[in-house]
Every structure is written in C-alpha cells, then in structure tokens.
A = this chain, B = another copy of it.
C-alpha cells in the first residue's frame, strides 16, 4: 500500500529557503507571485494490506523520524 506524506512548515515559522525562491522568481519578472513556501514530500510504500493499519504505521514513521512536530505539520494521503 502506497501513501504520500506532505510536510509543511507551520504558519508562523520562517521559511528562508522559500523566501529565496520567492525573491528569485520576482526578480525574474514574475511579480504576480504573492507567496511561496517550501516543504517536503515523501512517497512511502508499506507491506500492509489493511488501510487503517498502514496509515497508523506511516503516522508512526512521521512522528518518530520524518516530521519535526514543533515546527512542521504533515498530511498523509493514500495514492
């Protein structure tokens, strides 16, 4: 079973990398850009046929390693 996990910075956390990308795009003439924030994305495949169980396992991976819960949010979706 395959899942996608999207990790984003929380609203009030600064995103210097995103800021650099934003400034670069604006300097390239794309002044219609209002905001850009960068995050991480994982595609995870687990050996588990029960969706609920699989999601629990993915959630455990996020909490234990993939996500810094203090500054990041995450969303798990089946793909």
Given A21-B65, A33-B47, A39-B42, 8 further pairs, Cβ under 8 A: A8-B41, A21-B42, A25-B61, A32-B47, A33-B44, A33-B46, A36-B42, A41-B41
Q: Which residues from B are CB-within-8-Å of A43? A: 8, 35-37, 39
Contact A30 B45 (CB under 8 A): no
Which B residues lie within 8 Å of A35 (CB)?
Answer: 43-45
Contact of A68 with B by CB under 8 A: no
Those of A12-71 within 8 Å (CB) of chain B: 18, 21, 24-25, 28, 30, 32-48, 57, 60-61, 64-66
| Chain B residues whose CB sits within 8 angstroms of the CB of A6 once the complex forms | 4, 6, 41
